[in-house]
C-alpha cells in the first residue's frame, strides 16, 4: 500500500501514526507512484491550491493502480466530503476523527461503485491520537504531535472547522513518546500542532512545563518548537530558551501582515508594535537566533499602501526568512465575504516581492555564520558532494560527504556560502589540514 501527505508537519506525523496501524496488520508500504492495492491520501485545505492538488493526486494514483482501494482522509475530507466522494475512483472518505480508525470503517479494501463517507461533526473531535514521524532527514529529526485543533478564529482560516477545538495530550504521554523516539535513534524532536503555544491550557498545564520535562531526557540532544503564535511567546520562555542547552535557538512566529488595519481584518491577536517588540526582544536575548515569519499577501482590503507598509515593516525587522502565502478564498470563513478583493496578478506580484526579500534575508543571516564554528546535526540528505545538516538556528550546512555520517553531531567551521547553503568542514579536520600546510612550509 502507499501513502501521500499534503500540508503541514502535523499531517506528516499523523500519517506516520496511521501507517503504523497498517504495518502492524501485515501491510507492506511502498513509495507513492509505485503499483499498490491500497492508497491513502492525507489532505490539507489551507489553500485552494491544496484542494486542487488533492484531486490531481487521486487521479495520478489511479493511473498507476486503477484497482487500488483509494481512501482520502484529513482536513479537506472533513470540510468537503461530498466533493471528494464525487471524484471518480475514490472509495472511502474519512473525516478528522475517523482517519485514526480506518479499519473500523473499511472492511475489505475493495473498490466500490460509490464512495462511502464517514465524517462526524467536528464538535465530536475531542480525542487525541498519538502521532509522530521522521522527517525527510531520516532518523535524525522526528515530528511529535503535542497539540491539535484551535480556539482562535482568524478570519481567513478553516483549521478550526477542520480540526475542532484546541486540545493536547498529557505531559507524561508526550515524554513517553519522546523517549520512544530517542530509543529508536532520533536526536532531535520537533514539537508540532495547530497552535503549539496553546499546549496544555485546557489540561491545566503549559508549554514551558512540557519543555522542562523533555529536557530531562538525557539522550535527547535537541528540542525544536515548530511554530508559536506571537501572543503566546512570553519573555520568560525566550529567556528560558536562551539558557537551555537543548531547545533550539529557532523561532517561527507567524505575522501575516505588517499593517494594523489588515491585522484587524484578519482578527489576529496583536498589532505591529507588539510584534516588532517581540522579535527585537528575541534578537536581544539570543543574537544569533533563527527567526522566521508567515506572511499572507493579497488579503481582501489590502491596498498598495497596506502592502507597502508590510514590505517596509519586514525590511526593517531582524528576521531570518519568510514563509509567504498568497491569500486564497476559503468557504465558510469570514474573509471570503470581505470587500476589496485583490486581483490574482497583484497577489502574485506581491508574493514574488516578499519571496525575493526572504532570499536576501536568509542569505544575510547565513553570512553572519561565516568564520564561526557551529554545531550541526548531519542528515541523510546529500546534494552533490555535500552532506547536509542543520544547526540549532535552522541554518542549512553542507560539509564534504565523507566527513561525517547521518545522525552525527559535529562542529563545523563555516568557510562560505553556496547559494542558500553554508559550507565548511569539521573543525578538527580543518585544523589538521592547516597544521599540515604549516609543517610543509617549514620543511620547505
Neighbours of 21 (CB within 10 A): 14
Answer yes or no: are the C-beta atoms of 43 and 72 closer than 8 Å: yes
pLDDT per residue over 110-160, tens digit each? 888 889 999 887 776 666 666 666 544 457 889 999 999 999 999 999 988
Q: What is the DSSP letter of 199?
A: T
Spans of all domains in the chain: 2-120, 132-367, 373-443
Confidence (pLDDT) at 340: 97
pLDDT digit string (tens) for 24-41?
899 999 988 888 999 999
Distances (CA, A) of 279 to 42, 98, 230, 276, 443: 34, 39, 9, 5, 54
Mean local confidence (pLDDT), 395-422: 93
What are φ and ψ of residue 296, in 5° steps? -110, 130
- Encode pLDDT of 300-342 as tens digits: 999 999 999 999 999 999 999 999 999 999 989 999 999 999 9
C-alpha cell, 388: 547536509
Question: If you average pLDDT over residues 291-303, what whole number do you get?
Answer: 98
- pLDDT reported for residue 89: 87
Q: Which fold has domain 132-367?
A: pyruvate-formate lyase- activating enzyme (3.80.30)
Please say if the pLDDT value at position 434 is more than 60. no
- Residue 295: phi and psi, rounded to 5, are -135, 135
Q: Three-state secondary structure along 80-111? A: CHHHHHCCCCCCEEECCCHHHHHHHHCCCCCC
Contact 118, 93 (CB under 8 A): yes
User: Pick from 324, 306, 318: which is nearest to 259 by CA?
Assistant: 306
So what's the pLDDT on residue 138? 52
CATH tag, 2-120: 3.40.50
358, pLDDT greater than 60: yes
On average, the pLDDT of the chain sits at: 90
- Domain 373-443 CATH class label: mainly beta
Cβ–Cβ under 8 Å, residues 386 and 421:
yes
Same fold, 132-367 and 373-443: no
**What are 225-249's pLDDT values in tens digits?**
999 999 999 999 999 999 999 999 9
Amino acid at each position: 500500500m502507499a501513502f501521500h501527505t499534503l500540508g503541514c508537519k502535523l499531517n506528516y506525523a499523523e500519517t506516520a501514526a496511521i501507517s503504523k496501524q497498517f504495518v502492524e496488520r501485515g501491510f507492506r508500504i511502498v513509495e507513492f507512484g509505485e503499483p499498490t492495492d491500497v492508497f491513502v491520501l492525507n489532505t490539507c485545505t489551507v489553500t485552494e491550491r491544496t484542494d486542487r492538488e488533492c484531486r490531481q493526486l487521486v487521479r495520478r494514483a489511479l493511473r498507476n493502480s486503477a484497482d487500488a482501494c483509494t481512501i482520502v482522509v484529513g482536513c479537506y475530507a472533513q470540510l468537503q466530503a461530498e466533493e471528494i466522494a464525487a471524484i471518480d475512483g475514490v472509495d472511502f472518505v474519512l473525516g478528522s476523527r475517523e482517519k485514526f480508525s480506518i479499519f473500523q470503517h473499511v472492511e475489505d479494501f475493495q473498490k466500490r461503485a460509490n464512495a462511502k463517507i464517514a465524517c462526524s461533526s467536528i464538535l465530536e473531535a475531542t480525542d487525541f491520537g498519538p502521532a509522530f514521524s521522521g522527517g525527510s532527514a531520516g532518523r535524525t529529526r522526528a515530528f511529535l504531535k503535542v497539540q491539535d485543533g484551535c480556539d482562535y478564529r482568524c478570519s481567513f482560516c478553516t483549521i478550526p472547522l477542520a480540526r475542532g477545538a484546541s486540545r493536547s495530550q498529557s505531559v507524561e504521554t508526550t515524554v513517553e513518546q519522546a523517549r520512544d523516539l530517542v530509543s529508536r535513534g532520533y536526536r532531535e524532536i520537533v514539537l508540532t500542532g495547530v497552535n503549539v503555544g496553546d499546549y496544555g491550557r485546557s489540561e491545566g498545564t503549559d508549554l514551558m512545563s512540557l519543555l522542562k520535562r523533555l529536557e530531562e531526557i538525557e539522550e535527547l540532544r535537541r528540542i525544536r518548537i515548530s511554530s508559536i503564535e506571537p501572543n503566546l511567546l512570553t519573555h520568560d520562555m525566550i529567556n528560558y530558551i536562551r539558557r537551555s542547552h537543548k531547545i533550539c535557538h529557532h523561532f517561527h512566529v507567524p505575522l501575516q501582515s505588517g499593517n494594523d488595519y489588515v491585522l484587524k481584518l484578519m482578527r489576529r491577536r496583536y498589532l505591529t508594535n507588539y510584534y516588532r517588540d517581540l522579535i527585537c526582544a528575541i534578537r536581544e536575548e539570543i543574537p544569533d537566533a533563527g527567526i522566521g515569519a508567515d506572511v499572507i499577501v493579497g488579503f481582501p482590503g489590502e491596498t498598495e499602501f497596506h502592502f507597502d507598509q508590510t514590505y517596509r515593516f519586514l525590511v526593517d525587522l531582524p528576521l531570518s526568512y519568510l514563509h509567504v502565502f498568497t491569500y486564497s478564498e476559503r468557504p465558510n470563513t469570514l474573509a471570503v465575504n470581505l470587500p476589496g478583493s485583490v486581483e490574482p496578478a497583484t497577489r502574485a506580484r506581491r508574493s514574488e516581492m516578499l519571496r525575493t526579500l526572504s532570499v536576501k534575508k536568509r542569505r544575510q543571516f547565513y553570512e553572519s555564520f561565516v568564520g564561526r564554528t557551529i554545531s550541526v546535526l548531519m542528515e541523510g540528505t546529500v546534494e552533490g558532494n555535500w552532506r547536509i545538516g542543520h544547526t540549532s538556528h535552522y541554518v542549512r550546512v553542507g560539509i564534504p560527504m565523507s566527513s561525517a555520517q547521518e545522525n552525527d553531531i559535529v562542529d563545523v567551521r563555516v568557510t562560505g556560502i553556496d547559494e542558500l547553503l553554508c559550507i565548511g568542514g569539521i573543525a578538527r579536520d580543518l585544523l589538521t589540514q592547516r597544521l599540515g600546510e604549516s609543517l610543509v612550509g617549514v620543511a620547505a
